[in-house]
């Protein structure tokens, strides 16, 4: 599979994982619906600016977007970091205790 198609399939996966339609992602990202469709089909190689807008629209960091694309297994760990970003220190400490209780250590 070509890089643009692989990236597009990954963007589609992320969008669907968040329960977003192409229209909703386009609106949240400030992109045209046709651009989102073409990116997902691998027919358009997005600029860094468009990729940043997609990440913002899905409320994930660029690190998570690229990290999950390059190393699919790391996606969930990156998603947890995105969820904790900007949270109060007490929330982060609580999340850490829960993870340690679940996984041990």
> How is residue 73 annotated by DSSP?
G
- pLDDT tens digit sequence for 65-79: 887 666 666 667 777
When computed from its CA atoms, the radius of gyration of the chain, rounded to whole angstroms, is 15
- Listed as own residue / partner, the contacts of 94-98 with beta carbons closer than 8 Å and 24 or more positions apart are none
Output the domain CATH number for residue 73.
Answer: 1.10.260.40
What are the average pLDDT values for consecutive 10-residue runs of the chain, which has 105 residues?
86 92 97 97 94 93 77 70 84 90 83
pTM of full prediction above 0.75: no
Domain coverage including residue 54? 3-103
Main-chain phi, psi angles of 43, to 5 degrees? -95, -5
> How is residue 31 annotated by DSSP?
-
Number of independent structural domains in the chain: 1
């Amino acid at each position: 599979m070509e890089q643009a198609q692989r990236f597009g399939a990954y963007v589609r996966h992320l969008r669907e994982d968040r329960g977003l339609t192409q229209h909703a992602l386009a609106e949240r990202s400030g992109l045209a619906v046709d651009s989102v469709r073409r990116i997902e089909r691998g027919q358009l190689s997005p600029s860094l600016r468009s990729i940043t807008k997609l990440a913002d629209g899905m409320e994930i960091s660029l690190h998570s977007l690229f990290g999950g694309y390059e190393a699919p297994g790391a996606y969930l760990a990156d998603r947890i970091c995105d969820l904790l970003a900007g949270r109060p220190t007490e929330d982060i400490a609580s999340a850490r205790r829960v993870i340690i209780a679940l996984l041990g250590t």
